[in-house]
Chains A and B, each alone.
Chain A
Amino acid sequence: MSSETTGTTGAARGGGAATGRTAAASGSGAGVSTSSATAAADTRRLVAKRNRRLSHLALWLLSLVPAGLLVFDGFTMRLGINPIETITNRTGWWAMSMLAVTLAITPLRRVFGWHGLVRYRRQLGLATFIYASLHLATYAFLDLGLDLSHLGEDIIKRPFITVGFVAWLLLLALAITSTNGWIRRLGKRWALLHKAVYVIAGLALLHFFWSQKADRARPLQFLAVFAVLLGVRVVYSWLKRRRAAAQG
């Protein structure tokens, strides 16, 4: 998949900042002639591009650390008495966490003005999809042993599995349409489609709550996080409307 910018204004601004930093770093030996200035600008662009790629690579490696730890714990017998349960719970927890990090990008831009972060949002969304898929795969392949009739029955009959599966289907749709090609093709509808991330967050929370016998603490922690992330958006759009009304 592409690790290029998402083509939004925030990304462009973020890229500009990165280029600026590179220019400052390599600015000591600036040439005099125009042609060498152009060559220097080209070099700066290339360096900026390389740095961007490296930052995406670093984020990928970071995102995959929890999965790596799971594999390590598996090989060193640290997954406890019921390893499949441990893997199911940990991949589920990380899917929720990655979703929370993905949904934190917009509030961080609003509150702190860190617009460059938006460049990493697609990647974080894909990491969410990867952990959700590992979670589902653990259940379907390891837990049920790919007993398809059992899987189908669970998806239809067990509400908490139904909502979890629907959340995964929506994630799948967003993952498929996350490429630049689909962004272009869908135009304005793309933004609308990707609003489904809020539906996913709601379904995932419901899935977590309903999966618990009595323990509400862990799903409540995520509810609190999602509530804050949504709250920032609501407050911001309210302020924006008020400002617009005052000006108009």
Chain B
Amino acid sequence: MNLKRILAVPEDEVTPERLYLSRREFMRGAGVVAGAAAVSAVSTSFGQEAGAAVDELLGLGTTDEAPNTFEAITTYNNFYEFGYDKADPSRNSGDFMPSPWSVTIDGLADNTGEIALEDLVARFEVEKRIYRMRCVEAWSMVIPWNGFMLKDLIAMAAPQPEARYVAFTSVLRPEQMIGQRRNLLPFPYVEGLRLDEAMNPLVILATGLYDKPLYNANGAPIRLVVPWKYGFKGIKSIVRISFVAEEPPTTWNIMAPHEYGFYANVNPDVDHPRWSQGSERRIGEFRRRDTLPFNGYGDLVADLYAGMDLVRNY
């Protein structure tokens, strides 16, 4: 079936702004969620702040740690499409046009096609997830994302039995991205997840943070967030999601295979060849913290790797 047909939502119910609304506001909107293919069993409406609601949130890996400031999150980025410096993405991304945008879903799935972003996002529940983000460079942040679960998109696409991996591709727009003109990495940036990893409810496609649309520097208009893996797995400005049978190539693994593996799970016991991964600096803090296995999300994801040698599969 063509995705366009699945996604046939009456025009008046879909406005681009709805993408970015928090779920509470989202629910107030006219029946947008009605007809969504998969509704999450666990409600993580971010309007709930205290008590049992918080415990429930923590159950999905949402943290009660203090988020980093909006300024820190939007001006300290690794996004080589806009330059090497952490400040480059916020400085150099002014010409980037995140709208209009469409995402192509293809490969080994029943429902494939190219979809306008607003049509795609309208299908899903955009919720708030406060996640730790651990960069492979040994710094970390806490980021309040707005996004929907990748597993819902996967359910909609209906992958075929042979599909074992999900591959993601970033946008290639050298005319709007100075780092691509300078070939700072082999572009377009590509990433991937094993299908069962991608189905984990922690994994979201983020369209906003701090209840605002994603800034260009953070990977507007849609990016991947996998909180138990190093930040470079969180591919930004996604234009293609493909269901494939073989492990897909990933950009940093192509750049330096001994330094960046396909799995890239946060692991304090497996050092990067050039620096320790045992501790990290939380941006805004003076003292280092110990890095936690799976970035502290082990309870929710360690089963994915049962029996695997995580030293070899770094």
- Please list the residues of chain A having a beta carbon within 8 angstroms of any beta carbon in chain B: 80-82, 84-85, 142-145, 147, 150, 153-154, 157-161, 210-211, 213-215, 217
Contacts and interface: CB of A to CB of B under 8 A. Distances in A.
A80 B271 contact: no
A161 B255 CA distance: 22
Contact of A82 (B86, B276, B287, B288): B86
Given A159-B274, A210-B274, A211-B274, A82 B279 contact: no
A135 to B, nearest CB: 16
Interface stretch (B24-32, B72-80, B92-100): B72-80
B144 to A, nearest CB: 17
Contacts of B76: 80-82
Contacts of A144: 288
Contact of B274 (A142, A143, A150, A160): A160
A97 B278 CA distance: 32
A145 B287 contact: yes
Interface of B: 71-72, 75-76, 80, 84, 86-87, 137, 139, 184-185, 255, 271, 274-276, 278-279, 281, 283, 286-288
A80 B275 CA distance: 23
B72 to A, nearest CB: 5
B281 A82 contact: yes
10 contacts: A81-B75, A81-B283, A82-B76, A82-B283, A144-B288, A150-B279, A157-B276, A213-B137, A214-B80, A214-B84
Nearest to A212: B84
Contacts of B184: 214-215
A154 B84 contact: no
Most buried by B among A81, A142, A159, A215: A81
A158 B283 contact: no
Nearest to B71: A81
Contacts of B71: 81
A82 B80 contact: no
A206 to B, nearest CB: 12
Nearest to B184: A214
Most buried by A among B80, B87, B274: B274
Give 3 closest A-B pairs by Cβ, nearest first.
A81-B76, A215-B84, A81-B72
B102 to A, nearest CB: 30
Contacts of A213: 137
B145 to A, nearest CB: 18
Contacts of B279: 150
Given A153-B276, A159-B274, A211-B274, A84 B137 contact: no
A150 B72 contact: no
B97 to A, nearest CB: 26
B136 to A, nearest CB: 8
Given A81-B76, A82-B139, A158 B288 contact: no
Contacts of A82: 76, 86, 139, 281, 283
A185 B26 CA distance: 81
B76 to A, nearest CB: 4
A158 to B, nearest CB: 6
B288 A145 contact: yes
A195 to B, nearest CB: 29
Contacts of A142: 286
A37 B182 CA distance: 69
A158 B185 contact: no
Contacts of B274: 158-160, 210-211
A158 B72 contact: no
Nearest to B84: A215
B281 A158 contact: no
Nearest to A218: B84
A81 B86 contact: yes
A213 B72 CA distance: 22
Nearest to A210: B274
Contacts of A210: 274
Contacts of A145: 286-288
